[in-house]
Amino acid sequence: MNALIYWPIMAGVLLLDVGTKYVAEQTLSPAGVPSPVIGDVLRWTLVYNPGAAFGLYLGSYSRWIFLGLSVTALIILWRMYRETAAGRWVRTLSLALVSSGALGNLIDRIRHEHGVVDFIDVGIGASRWPTFNIADVAVSTGAFLLAWVLWNEGADEDMAATSLPSNGSSTTERA
């Protein structure tokens, strides 16, 4: 059941990410020159991010460090997917989003020494959000959903643990 959600979302987001990055590289040249879409609020600007989210950069080994971290994250996400009970569609969706985004950016790290292809540029004037891509949107959305799911799973477990009597007897009164 979970595979019917996971694999189409994973494939769709990955194809959308890879496709939009390809189009950005082919049409947004030279890098760093904004192309307005909705005035100054939304622009397409091709940039290569050798670091991680929000421009986190760890020097000349960033590519390899973040490549290793991405592979590790994908292994953990895969294990979480495999352990997800059937019918937990929100958890499955969140794992598919995070996994597809992580894989999309991993592909960039492998094929580009320059870094991850980013092109979505949002802001007003000089106040701009760091440029991002579809994979980043998937990772952020999926991570938020996954945190919410895991929080609720933890709350459900806490509720179940506090509602059980400690001596193992039933909570219903006996006549």
> One of 17, 108, 121, 136 is an active-site residue; which one?
136
HEC profile for 84-123? CCCCCHHHHHHHHHHHHHHHHHHHHHHHCCCCEEEEEEEE
Reply yes or no on whether 108 is catalytic. Answer: no
Q: How many CA atoms lie within 13 A of 54 on its CB side?
A: 1
Cα–Cα nearest to 96, from 3, 2, 6: 6
User: Catalytic: 118?
Assistant: yes
Q: Is the peptide bond before 36 cis (omega within 30 degrees of 0)?
A: no
Among the listed residues 17, 108, 118, 121, the single catalytic one is 118
Instruction: Measure the CA–CA gap between 57 and 46, rounded to whole angstroms.
Output: 18
Q: Which residues are catalytic?
A: 118, 136
